[in-house]
Structure 1
């Protein structure tokens, strides 16, 4: 159609025509025409769009002017209006993203005790594959640290020639040198985040090789290794992630100075006897049992001390549990197999995509204060209980990839929206599927969710290729905290490239006025 000259090639204007045909957006054009004169959006028109569709407040006049100056490609248009091309560029930019740009960088208080943060954490970090025969590699540490992980695990055993080794003991996983792990941690610990790294060591070494471990830690890390109590003062609580005036790393020494591993007896025993610097570890099944039987006590325990949760030993395939249920209890160090993609890592990546991807996310205030008893099983008992209604209209998708290797394969896409949070908030809804259209499917389907604890809720968007006779094929996903979502129309869920309309408002309770949140 674009080859007007019928030469078999696209020349000059023909290529421009081809590009416009390829990127034509009927969904965006529909909104553009609604607010414009058909040719351009005046600044006043754009202000109306920002106010009515994007639900923006503040100085809308200034923001509209800035958007025109930033995204309008035409010099003439930049005077006081935005053409369709500029409108399309704006909606596809970071400002048009579902993720609130104000929550991209570090915006949280970073001066609170470590136990007040969720900490991005890895399990058996050295493994690249399964738990029985998988390859061990320092690359596992490099990848985890480059994803903002702030707690990595090292299983240490006696090795040949007096050199400690790292591997999954009593299995057929390959072995790497402890000193190589320490070097990798030293080189990559602060490439992505300036905040402390906790080195969780499972030590099976003899006294002689423990001395070698200490030598490597001191020799390789040098003054980046924290060896003494901060400021030389007797500590009364865990330190915060913030050491802005000191060039110190906390790889292993957090576990020695501030994170002494102890056996967990009971919440009552911990309340009476435990010290603030002690940390207890739980398998996922034990943590789940405590959460089920004494959820409020678990949350209260974690307002004072660190807890670490790790995958069950039965997960020999390196699969993951969903970390959300452990965050619901306030557990800070929820260790996952970073090498295994799937729902668990999607939710983990989503939580830690905020706050500068620094690996630390401040817990909600009701999980940090000792005089509050928050029970994730009964969130409606909170004094400040305010559920919200999340309304999402899934509008369209663009250029979704084929997932079947057959040459003539075309996807039948559907979008599933999942809410991960406290048990009352766990929910899934999906659109209808669009038959044989992965290029520009359009749904205009609306989904509604009531969310009782919005501070803990994660929202996951999944695109699948519908199949009548077998399991749907995965196409893509995007996950982020509810608290980081922008309201409005045409919010781009980045990695899977579809647009939707989002509205969030308080659910009317006890005669209160309905209001925008």
Structure 2
């Protein structure tokens, strides 16, 4: 009979086939209901708190609840409810809370589980990152701070074909960036441009003049070509009736540039478990304007990435956007790094525009109280905009430079923030453009200088800034590390990404901070390892971080890197469970039961061989240290990690400067470990001196750098030794 039924569907009557279809549909529906029930049971459940006479619901997954209840039972030692002395010891010793606050908070003799949660979670908090100091020292010269910096701030994507937009400036500034970059070019529609070009080319051959004209019109031709292609594609799409789909991937030219949310979730996991942390509609509306072409004023300079296919925006529009967002979140100053490719007439327009748009904010002349070129303190520059640009050269040098405007002639401008090692085409390096006097005068405390060596007179001028590519700085560290470190204790240096980073990737900025480099220019449009470290460095710091003592200029000249306060330490992180871990991008919600998240932990600390002095100082052979560990995999987006694979131990880490060291967490899907770039689902990064000890909750960010609802419950233990 079973064989007959198995063969029946092919020759069954319509009514019989209909009956089988109905039963099959019901079976599938039943299976879906079972899966949904499983997901519902795994969803966070409410724990009712009643502290201060107010009712609150704390939603914790079953896995988190098991870990927290086990902790409570361990503290009780079989004598529930928890007594005050045991809770006080837990808060002071395990959690590192202040004794005075603990004594004031604990008013009961015993604490039930809900009361324990009310005190521990609600009143002391479980944040993994300790808050930045509320009384940060702002009295040091500005060269004594690390500065949150961006590279090619106007771009929203790829270095050669990404779109320029003012929204990237607003986002960066609102997220704590304090050094932005503007590439300024002549507006090809400006009537005065032809006159300037003619005057500068008066004594040159006709072939050289044609080369000069092509130098500044190549990018315009590229933009025009891109627009023509885009329009043809759009017309074809509409004709064929194909729906337009936008990706959130950086590979898409119209990806979401919103970046991470600036708010930190203090009320972690409180409220309904399905409540959104951020609204995509808000993000979309906020940055929708960047997707529209902007009308450019005919006689004003433009901003774009030269010799590429990027679309330009107006310089005035950029200045207006900077004024709008510059001091919304902090009054600490910003530095505007100008890379000038515009000729003299348009440079004068730049000065006019900046004075108009930044009236009352722009530092235009030295402060009278500061003599002999002294650099001002950070607190003396509140609500101020500093200009970084080259100084004007002599009239003789100007005339020589004017005769070398062709990209194939003259001297390449290394010190304007970009050069042949930057992301421009190595076949067409930017020409050297003389800076006019009025623009030069705006570089009061931050002027660009071309790096030649550390013994030059330029290297001793208090206001100078050397902009050097990441590769060149690493070369200098190998050959002139003591000179490099000493220079950066007293004067500014800026690192920018190397030429091959066309996809807007970033270097590890911590390797440059440890060399004293104040400004590491990052591609904010790319959320990679470098940007994770950058976010951790400046979290809650308003874009300015005071250097460690041995890195600052007020120390004695005899002080060197060997006297810095490095300590040996052990770090042990135990990962218990998670909640609302973001699913892989290609995994539907109803398949979350197949999700296998694992946690990787990586230390970013200075390796002994990278420090000043010879490797293995004193002839001691250095022991190999593993800098990354990982847990076993859990199950679903509410995972629990097994006791045999959840402890991540880093022992005997030598000579750590904790304010320049980081611990980074990556949550990956084990099932896609062999898919390049497709396994990371969430991450977190914390500066080591801000890493809190005890039982803590790690808030996770998604792969686009935005807050997610995901959290991990961990225990952190640190042991420092001299």
Provide the TM-score with structure 1 as the length reference: 0.84
- For residue 112 of structure 2, what is the aligned residue in structure 1? 83
Match 1:33 to one of 60, 73, 76: 73
1:387 corresponds to which of 565, 568, 573: 568
Match of 2:504 in 1: 318
Q: Distance in 2 between matches of 1:258 and 1:386?
A: 36
Aligned to 1:474: 680
* Structure 1 contact 412–435 (Cα < 8 Å) conserved: yes
Please state how far the C-alpha of 1:38 moved relative to its aligned partner: 6.7
Number of the residue aligned with 2:665: 461
Residue 113 of structure 1: how far off its partner (Å): 1.0
The equivalent of 1:107 in structure 2 is 135
Match of 2:517 in 1: 331
Q: Paired residue for 2:88, among 47, 54, 69? A: 47
Equivalences for residues 75-474 of structure 1 within 5 A: 81-88=110-117, 92=121, 95-101=125-131, 103=132, 105-159=133-187, 160=189, 161-243=298-380, 248-250=384-386, 256-269=443-456, 274-353=460-539, 356-368=540-552, 369-372=555-558, 374-375=560-561, 381-382=562-563, 384-407=565-588, 408-409=591-592, 410-424=594-608, 428-443=627-642, 444-449=646-651, 450-455=653-658, 456-467=660-671, 469-471=674-676, 473-474=679-680
Question: More displaced, 390-399 or 23-32?
Answer: 390-399
For residues 396-446 of structure 1, the C-alpha deviation after alignment (integer angstroms, 9 at most, x for no partner) is 222312115233243222211111132239953223322534313224323
Give structure 2 stretches of 5+ with no counterpart.
Answer: 1-35, 48-58, 190-297, 390-440, 611-624, 701-709
Contact map agreement 2:667 2:680 (CA 8 A) in 1: yes
What is the CA distance between 1:84 and its match in structure 2? 2.4
User: Cα RMSD (Å) of the superposition?
Assistant: 3.0
CA 1:492–1:90 in structure 2 vs 1: closer, same or farther (change >3 Å)?
Answer: farther
Q: Who is 1:4 aligned against?
A: none
Q: CA deviation at 1:500?
A: 1.7
The separation in 1 between residues aligned to 2:307 and 2:129, in whole angstroms, is: 44
Secondary structure of the 2:358 match is: helix
SS at match of 1:290: helix
What is the CA distance between 1:173 and its match in structure 2? 0.3
Q: Give a deviation string over 1:38-89, Cα, whole Å, max 9, x none.
A: 7643433310221342244533642542xx7xxxxxxxxxx55443234345
5+ residue gaps, structure 1: 1-8, 69-78, 376-380, 510-517
SS at match of 1:216: helix
Contact 1:121 1:152 in 2 (8 A): yes
Structure 1 residue 386: Cα displacement = 2.7
Q: In structure 2, the residue corresponding to 1:26 is in which secondary structure?
A: helix
Partners of 1:157 and 1:164 within 8 A in 2: yes
The answer (yes or no) to whether the contact 2:577–2:639 under 8 Å persists in 1 is yes
Is the Cα–Cα contact under 8 Å of residues 144 and 546 in structure 2 kept in the other structure? yes
**SS of the residue 2:656 aligns to:** coil
- TM superposition score normalised by structure 2: 0.61
Q: Distance in 2 between matches of 1:58 and 1:494?
A: 26
Three-state SS of the structure 2 residue aligned to 1:119 is: strand
1:213 to 1:442, Cα distance in 2 relative to 1, 3 A: same
Q: Is the 8 A contact 2:631 2:648 kept in 1?
A: no
The answer to whether the Cα contact below 8 Å between 1:149 and 1:359 also exists between their aligned partners in 2 is: yes
Larger Rg: 2
Are the equivalent residues in 1 in contact too, given 2:577–2:640 (CA < 8 A)? yes
Change (3 A) 1:385 1:291: same
In structure 1, distance between residues paired with 2:372 and 2:447:
14
Cα 1:235–1:146 change in 2 (3 A) is: farther
Q: How many residues are treated as equivalent by the alignment?
A: 474
Give 1:106 shift: 3.5
Q: Tell me how far apart the structure 2 counterparts of residues 113 and 319 of structure 1 sit (CA, whole Å).
A: 31
CA distance in structure 1 between the partners assigned to 2:533 and 2:60 by the alignment: 33
Partner residue, 2:103:
62
